[in-house]
Amino acid sequence: MSLPATSLRTLVIPRATALTNVALVTGGVIFLAALAQIAIPVPGSPVPVTGQTLGVLLLGTTYGASLGASTFALYLLAGVAGAPVFAQHSFGISKVTGATGGYLIGMLVATYFLGLIARKSLDREFLTALPSMLFASVITFSFGLLWLHQFMGKGWGWTIQAGLTPFIIGEILKIAIAGTSLPILWRFINRKNA
């Protein structure tokens, strides 16, 4: 029996109440904050390698477009308001308006689009999940690189070296983790509901 197009959240919690959604959003913000603490400084770059993009890949596909984007938006607001949720327990408006701001805004947009893609059931098969995850990473890095280039006022060569090249291997690993774990989870759910 094949399940209709839906996000994992709507399948697991079909009739979510406002309280359930608040709990999911709060849990998602905590999840993103925890992954942000997995941060590796990149020599010569103001942008660290973090686990946030893995959180985006998982939240966007499991929560869907609206709840996923709302969760990431609340995460950003919490950081701006002073909660130490960004990399290395940092916080403040400077994180969203500074060198890393484009990446954070890109992650918000990527979360929304991943939710839309998940609605089309593209997160259920390995061959469609990986391109979906790659698309989300392209969104994140497009915003990030454009912003970094403008903010730092340096050439594109420096921007690519400081804002993309050091992140490629980590992104491939994150895409592989999310792109393979979600189809396995869907297979388990489909078998359980058959």
pLDDT above 90: percentage of residues in the chain: 64
* DSSP-derived secondary structure letter, 166: G
pLDDT digits 0-9 by tens, 90-129 = 999 999 999 999 999 999 999 999 999 888 877 677 778 8
pLDDT surpassing 90 at residue 189: no
Band of residue 54 on the pLDDT scale cut at 50, 70, 90: very high
Query: Are residues 26 and 110 in contact, defined by beta-carbon separation less than 8 angstroms?
Result: no
In a domain, 164, yes or no: yes
Q: What is the pLDDT of residue 12?
A: 56
Q: How many domains does the chain have?
A: 1
Query: Are residues 113 and 69 in contact, defined by beta-carbon separation less than 8 angstroms?
Result: no
Per-residue b/e over 27-55, b at no fewer than 16 CB within 10 Å?
A: ebbebbbebbeebeebeebebbbbbbbbb
In a domain, 135, yes or no: yes
In a domain, 2, yes or no: no
In a domain, 1, yes or no: no
Q: What is the C-alpha to C-alpha distance for residues 131 and 35, in angstroms, rounded to an integer?
A: 23
In a domain, 47, yes or no: yes
Report pTM.
0.87
pLDDT surpassing 50 at residue 48: yes
CB within 8 A of 160, min separation 6: which ones?
145
Domain with 61, as residue range(s), is 8-193
SS3 40: strand
In a domain, 91, yes or no: yes
Band of residue 14 on the pLDDT scale cut at 50, 70, 90: low
**Cβ neighbours, 10 Å, residue 126:** 12
In a domain, 88, yes or no: yes
Band of residue 21 on the pLDDT scale cut at 50, 70, 90: confident
In a domain, 3, yes or no: no
Q: Identify the CATH number of the domain in which residue 133 sits.
A: 1.10.1760.20
